[in-house]
Amino acid sequence: MATVCAHMQTLSLRPTTGLAGRAIAVPVCPVPHRRRGLTIEARYRGVNTDRSQVAQFRRSAADTGSPEVQVAQLSARVIQLTSHLQANKKDFAAKRGLMMVLSQRRKMLEYLRRVDREQYEVTVSKLGIRGLKEIID
């Protein structure tokens, strides 16, 4: 079985012992390869996510951590995942990802409502999402 490597021109031969003690030459690539786990290309990198609404929630040009910005970014991801799931109904990994993003957004909205009620109302109305259920004691 031949070893295929993208760096074929840089392969060197390493002598080693094969079956029955015979000396054979094995091609060795100088570039280490990842064999397990997700490659960088397989991870989500924000492709097809419309983040045009995020800019209106920023407090400054470099603001990425305020709760309003995070909720806006998570809402953009929810929209992207929802449209993906409409086209790919059996993509259960994406469905799980959507549930995780929704949970993260809900927690961020709970924090925002607890800390700054006015900003919570503004954020919910601008994004056009349902607010959290009011718990009446």
What are the two backbone dihedrals, phi and then psi, of residue 69, each rounded to the nearest 5 degrees?
Answer: -65, -40
Q: How far is CA 121 from CA 33, 57, 136, in A?
A: 50, 13, 18
pTM exceeds 0.75? no
Q: Helices 92-115 & 117-127, crossing angle to 10 degrees?
A: 140
DSSP 57: G
pLDDT at 32: 63
Using left for φ > 0, alpha for ψ between -120 and 50, and beta otherwise, residue 135 falls in beta
Q: How confident is the model at residue 53 (pLDDT cuts 50, 70, 90)?
A: confident
Residue type for 86, please?
Q
